[in-house]
Amino acid sequence: MSDPTDPVLTVADLSKSYAGREVLRDLSLAVAGGERVALLGHNGAGKSTLLKLILGLTRPGAGRIRVAGAAPGDAAARAATAYLPEQVAFHGALTGREQLEFFARLAGEPLRVVGPLLERVGLSAAADRRIGTWSKGMRQRLGLAQALLGRRRVALLDEPTSGLDPVSRHDLYAVVDEMAAQGTAVLTSSHALTELEARTDRIAILREGRLVANDTLSGLTARAALPIRIRLTAGPDGADALQAALGGSRINGHALDLTCPASEKMARLARITALGGAVADVEMTPPSLEDIYRHFATTEGAP
């Protein structure tokens, strides 16, 4: 039996150019079975090109890709890969059930799996309506059901929550978590950083075709060394004294904003606690994924 920690998707020293313009440069990335990796980067950073290369839709100029041990585009790689694009396209004259049954036949799956899959993605009630009458979000959920066919070893998700309402987004990521728990290697390209923050094991950030960050959220937080934000609410008539003692910026007259390095957090808290009743409330906000992404995706975070 293979080790679930072994990479199922491997990209090594990958480069790609279009019309003399280098789109990807010396990119190496691996995703293990059961791992959820977020692929981040500005438009034009190379995310879509990387997904096309993994799918075998285009060939690299240099480097090597292996999908479950096979080359991109090979029958074995295609059978191992699930792909959910940002803009799914289905035949509008077919019902959701008919379309998913068609894909089940292509995947070699028994038709009995179709009903449970439609229910799993919240489409049971609309299953026998024509897809042409569906909303964009409903079509996106049908795309997820298609990706679930065949227990794929690799899942490539390109802006998977496009067109989904907040509840449907939560449901989609719950299904993605189930896929990872069953051993699927998940690579998700998205600009929706807030929802990804708690839904990823590792973050890979592209900038101008180069991989500039590849670590856990805690690892990237430590590497970026971004400050922690602290907001204090002063006790009655205590804002002036609080600012005199701690500095910072006044907010709305009675609150104070401070920042401090992560290494000084406990010392700063001890100092705040020592002020006693002068402080009515404390809120501490660590750097968000958006803060970390902004750091690494700009020249500020240049390696």
In order of 37, 111, 242, 255, the CA distances from 236 in angstroms are 47, 68, 11, 11
Nearest to 56 by CA among 39, 74, 43, 68: 74
The class of domain 7-222 in CATH terms is alpha beta
* Boundaries of every domain in the chain: 7-222, 227-286
Helix (H) or strand (E) segment spanning residue 228: strand 228-234
Distance CA 209, CA 160 (A): 22
DSSP 8-state secondary structure symbol assigned to residue 130? B
pLDDT at 227 over 80: yes
Distance CA 10, CA 12 (A): 6
Distance CA 264, CA 128 (A): 59
Mean pLDDT rounded to a whole number for the chain? 90
The reported pLDDT for the residue numbered 253 is: 78
Q: Assign 4 a pLDDT band (cuts: 50, 70, 90).
A: low
Distance CA 259, CA 253 (A): 18
Could you tell me the two tokens for 194?
């807030």
The reported pLDDT for the residue numbered 1 is: 37
**pLDDT tens track for 95-144:** 999 999 999 998 889 999 999 999 999 999 999 999 999 998 899 899 99
Could you tell me the two tokens for 68?
């479950």
Distance CA 153, CA 79 (A): 9
**Contact call for residues 204 and 29 (beta carbons, < 8 A):** yes
In order of 202, 205, 211, 273, the CA distances from 32 in angstroms are 11, 17, 18, 44
Distance CA 152, CA 173 (A): 16
**pLDDT tens track for 154-191:** 999 999 888 788 888 888 888 899 999 999 999 999 88
**pLDDT tens track for 230-268:** 999 998 877 888 888 898 988 887 889 999 998 899 999
Domains 7-222 and 227-286 share a fold: no
Q: Output the CATH code of domain 227-286.
A: 3.30.70.120
